[in-house]
């Protein structure tokens, strides 16, 4: 869920970055577009600078030659009026510009235009300097006015608005992210649940309703497939049971019949033993299927593991175990009274599968160790032997095979692979974990980790 949040944050941050880049791009384009205009309006030929320079270099008698040349290069005409409104001197004035002006005329053109020429005036001690620019070069606003308060408030207003815009943008980013995560959290959780093979049922409205509907449909299809698979396994197992029992019965009858030839009796005993293995395989297959598709009911109760382990060891030794095998039980004092809320039948099945694997794959005999220990967070149940072990390649293959059906090695036959799958599933339904360790000629060790619980006597 955190990774998805980072994904959303990344894209929303990218969105904000794009906005910032667009703003900078707009500013850059604005600067490039209006650079010449700004240079003209505030450069050497701008009305303000020209007025200052011409006023500084001219008198009532005339203007300097340098100033005259600069006016001509800038296509600006000039004239000087005395207090009576008469033209004293002029530079490049158009033909339609009069020589004499009344007070009313001066009042009118000083605010804007003279004969459609934008004009700018500068008052001196002896008269009025007038500069005229080409028609269409400037627009003068003659009727607008601004209060000092408005002009002083403008920078504060612009700054406040920029801050407000950034805050609003951040809030939009934050709430958009939160909304997206809230809307997609159930969908992500449902996908994770589906990936574990469990059914889901989503009820989401709005834009994501179609996605929820598709997930619900996929869940229903998977559930039907799992149920059909489990029912098929259960049905086949049930159908096998009756003929298998008959085979075992007849084989046992022949093997126990004293009048039958010894070779026939030997063959009948082999048939009975192999039939018993098939029966165990069918039982394991049913149990694996039930656990895999959550169709196996768990009967959990508080179980003292030390007592369970010792009872199993006694039963194993009393069950006719060959003398080539020895069984040792080691219980750490700290875990003597450890209690696990579990299905005792399944835990015993897991232990027995591991022990039988050690027996089966060490026909020359070995020592089998059943141990119980603990850590700060877990109870450790260990089944270990000092037999032939596995090579690193075989161990990796055993750990990585997702299903017993894919176990092709002669040592990792169906019975072995299915037994380990069953052990792993039993451990997982008890919220535990399994770890295998083995080296050639140094034995085989399986450790089952279960969550530690308060001790009960």
* 102-112 average pLDDT score: 89
Q: Which residue has the higher pLDDT, 119 or 390?
A: 119
Q: What is the DSSP letter of 86?
A: B
Q: How confident is the model at residue 25 (pLDDT cuts 50, 70, 90)?
A: confident
> Best-predicted range by mean pLDDT among 240-244, 364-368, 387-391, 415-419?
364-368
Question: Closest Cα partner for 436 from 388, 411, 400, 407?
Answer: 400
Strands 366-374 and 325-331: parallel
Q: How confident is the model at residue 382 (pLDDT cuts 50, 70, 90)?
A: very high
Res 186: pLDDT: 82
Res 294: pLDDT: 57
**Which helix or strand (DSSP H or E) is residue 438 part of?**
strand 433-438
Res 1: pLDDT: 47
Give me the phi and psi of 318, to 5 degrees please. Answer: -80, -5
Q: What mean pLDDT, rounded, does the chain reach? A: 81
Res 20: pLDDT: 85
Q: Which long-range contacts (CB under 8 A, 24 or more apart) does 360-363 make?
A: 360/415, 360/416, 361/387, 361/388, 361/411, 361/416, 361/444, 362/325, 362/387, 362/388
* 451-457 average pLDDT score: 63
d(CA 266, CA 452): 50
Over 168-180, what HEC string results?
HHHHHHHHHHHHH
Q: Which residue has the higher pLDDT, 440 or 284?
A: 440
Res 405: pLDDT: 39
Please, what's the b/e burial string for 347-358 (b: 16 or more CB within 10 A of its CB; e: otherwise)? bbbbbbbbbebb
Res 7: pLDDT: 59
Whether 293 shows a pLDDT value over 80: the answer reads no
Res 46: pLDDT: 81
Point out which residues pair with 451 in neighbouring strands. Answer: 378
């Amino acid at each position: 869920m955190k990774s998805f949040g980072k994904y959303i944050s990344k894209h929303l941050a990218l969105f904000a970055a794009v906005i910032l880049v667009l703003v900078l791009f707009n500013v850059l384009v604005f600067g490039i577009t209006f650079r010449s205009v700004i240079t003209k309006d505030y450069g050497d030929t701008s009305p303000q600078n020209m007025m200052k320079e011409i006023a500084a270099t001219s008198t009532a008698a005339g203007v300097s030659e340098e100033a005259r040349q600069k006016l001509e290069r800038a296509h600006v005409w000039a004239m000087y009026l005395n207090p009576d409104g008469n033209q004293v001197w002029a530079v490049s004035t158009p033909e339609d510009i009069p020589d004499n002006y009344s007070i009313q005329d001066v009042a009118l053109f000083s605010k804007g235009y003279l004969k459609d020429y934008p004009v700018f005036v500068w008052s001196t001690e002896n008269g009025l300097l007038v500069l005229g620019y080409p028609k269409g070069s400037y627009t003068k606003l003659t009727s607008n006015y601004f209060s000092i308060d408005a002009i002083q408030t403008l920078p504060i207003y612009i700054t406040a608005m920029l801050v407000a815009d950034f805050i609003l943008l951040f809030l939009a980013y934050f709430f958009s992210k939160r909304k997206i995560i809230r809307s997609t959290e159930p969908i992500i959780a449902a996908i994770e649940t589906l990936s574990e093979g469990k059914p889901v049922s989503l009820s989401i409205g709005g834009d994501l309703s179609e996605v929820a509907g598709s997930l619900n449909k996929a869940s229903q299809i998977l559930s039907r497939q799992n149920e059909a698979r489990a029912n098929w396994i259960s049905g086949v197992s049930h159908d096998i049971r009756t003929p298998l029992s008959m085979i075992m019965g007849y084989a046992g009858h022949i093997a126990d019949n004293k009048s039958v030839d010894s070779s026939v009796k030997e063959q009948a005993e082999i048939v009975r033993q192999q039939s018993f293995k098939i029966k165990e395989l069918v039982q394991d297959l049913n149990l694996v299927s039930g656990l895999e598709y959550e169709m196996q009911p768990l009967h959990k109760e508080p179980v003292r593991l030390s007592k369970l382990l010792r009872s199993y060891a006694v039963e194993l030794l009393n069950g006719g175990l060959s003398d080539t095998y020895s069984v040792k039980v080691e219980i750490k004092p700290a875990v003597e009274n450890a209690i696990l809320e579990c299905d005792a039948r399944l835990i015993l099945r897991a232990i027995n599968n591991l022990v039988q694997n050690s027996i089966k794959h060490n026909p020359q005999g070995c020592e089998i160790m059943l141990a119980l220990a603990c850590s700060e967070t877990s109870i450790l149940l260990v089944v270990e032997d000092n037999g032939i072990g596995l090579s690193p390649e075989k161990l990796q293959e055993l750990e990585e095979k997702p299903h017993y059906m894919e176990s092709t090695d002669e040592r990792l036959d169906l019975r072995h692979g299915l037994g380990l799958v069953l052990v792993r599933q039993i451990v997982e339904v008890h919220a535990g974990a399994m770890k295998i360790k083995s080296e050639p000629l140094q034995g085989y060790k399986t450790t089952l980790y279960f969550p530690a619980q308060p001790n009960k006597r």
